[in-house]
Amino acid sequence: MSRPSLPFRFSSVPPPDPQTASSRLAPVDMSTATMLSGGRELSQPPSDGISNLRFSSHSDLLLVSSWDRTIRLYDVGENTLKAEFVHAGPVLDCCFHDDSSGFSAGADHSVRRHIFGSGKEDILGHHDAPVRCVEYSYAAGQVITGSWDKTLKCWDPRGANSSDRALIGTYVQPERVYSLSLVGYRLVVATAGRHVNVYDLRNMSQPEQRRESSLKYQTRCVRCYPNGTGRVAMEFFDLSEAAQAKKYAFKCHRKSEAGRDTVYPVNAMAFHPIYGTFATGGCDGYVNYSKYPTSIAALSFNRDGRLLAVASSYTFEEGEIPHEPDAIFVRNVNEVEVKPKPKALPGPPP
């Protein structure tokens, strides 16, 4: 018997394939979409591409990692920059430990821990290649990092500054790790080559499941649905036929212009902590019908889902070209926008 199935979802880089250009499924209809305000912009944004941003799960603090080699902590309520750490190389990911400390993944192969109050930082350890993503598991009390060296590493944050003490284990992946997501003890790892591995943090010796992404193209981002009772069915941990039958994929971030369809890569996803709906952000600069200056690099809902932080930052999809300055917008979320839409049949599910 299985626990309630936990869905997770992929987003992928779209194809250069003219035959799939029809986008009748896409819900983006610009003529009817209401243009909502993009929200207020934070002052003192990073000076180069934003690699990720995350709201704290206890407060309205926002942690931002950037290609300008910094990791920054903002107080969104006061619109102030509370702390800043400079690395040797670009920072590819960051996450909170608690409100007083956090972790970062660096292109300089290092995994660091930052104490916001004192400005102190420790090195948890190193990978053999740039570290692409970092997650902290409250359930296991571990930091999990994924790197382009094709490994996953688990760290004990208490053992900082002596790598032999901090490192719990190294787990070889089939390809370079591109995205990680956690829910409870479940860990989903998406790598190049469209591999997806699902682990149980309590038994990391081998993946609980090995899958191939159901999408055709490169996996950019993978996120776990926050609770077990999926309202929107996507892809499920549960291997039973019934649960697997529920998975689906839909197209988004497409645009029809003069008979041509432009398909944009999807960079980011964030789940609403209360309603379980989710927002996606792509290289077209749209988040749920609001247009931002450039590609959406990252999204994060705050703890009660009333705020959505949007990193409007060029994601290098077209190489080095001139682009809009990098900015962080924090926008108030209307309940109407995030509440699940009633189903087609009479009587919405309880």
* Residues of this chain that bind another protein (CB under 8 A): 1, 3-4, 13-19, 21-22, 24-25, 49, 51, 67, 89-90, 92, 107-108, 129-130, 132, 148, 176, 178, 192-193, 216-218, 220, 229, 233, 242, 244-246, 248, 250, 259-263, 265, 315-321, 343-350
Which of residues 63 and 107 has its CB atom nearest to another protein in the complex? Answer: 107
Q: What is the DSSP string of 18-40?
A: GGG---TT----TTTS------E
Which of residues 158 and 260 has its CB atom nearest to another protein in the complex? Answer: 260
Which of residues 21 and 168 has its CB atom nearest to another protein in the complex? Answer: 21
In whole angstroms, give the CA distance from residue 235 to residue 47: 37
Least separation in angstroms between residue 194's CB and another protein is 9
Residue-wise burial string across 73-108, b where 16 or more C-beta atoms lie within 10 A, e elsewhere: bbebeeeeeebbbebeebbbbbbbbeeebbbbbbbb
Cα 129 to chain centroid distance, Å, stands at 21
Least separation in angstroms between residue 316's CB and another protein is 4
Least separation in angstroms between residue 126's CB and another protein is 12
CB 289 within 8 A of CB 35: yes
Which of residues 88 and 139 has its CB atom nearest to another protein in the complex? Answer: 88
Can you read off the two tokens belonging to residue 323? 């682009």
CB 195 within 8 A of CB 174: yes
Which of residues 145 and 302 has its CB atom nearest to another protein in the complex? Answer: 145
Which of residues 51 and 151 has its CB atom nearest to another protein in the complex? Answer: 51
Which of residues 119 and 342 has its CB atom nearest to another protein in the complex? Answer: 342
Q: Is 97 left (phi over 0), alpha (psi -120 to 50) or beta?
A: alpha
Least separation in angstroms between residue 324's CB and another protein is 16
CB 175 within 8 A of CB 195: yes
Least separation in angstroms between residue 26's CB and another protein is 10
Least separation in angstroms between residue 60's CB and another protein is 28
Strands laid side by side in the 7-12 sheet:
219-224, 7-12, 235-236
Least separation in angstroms between residue 171's CB and another protein is 20
15: number of Cβ within 10 Å: 13
User: What one-letter code names the amino acid at 82?
Assistant: K
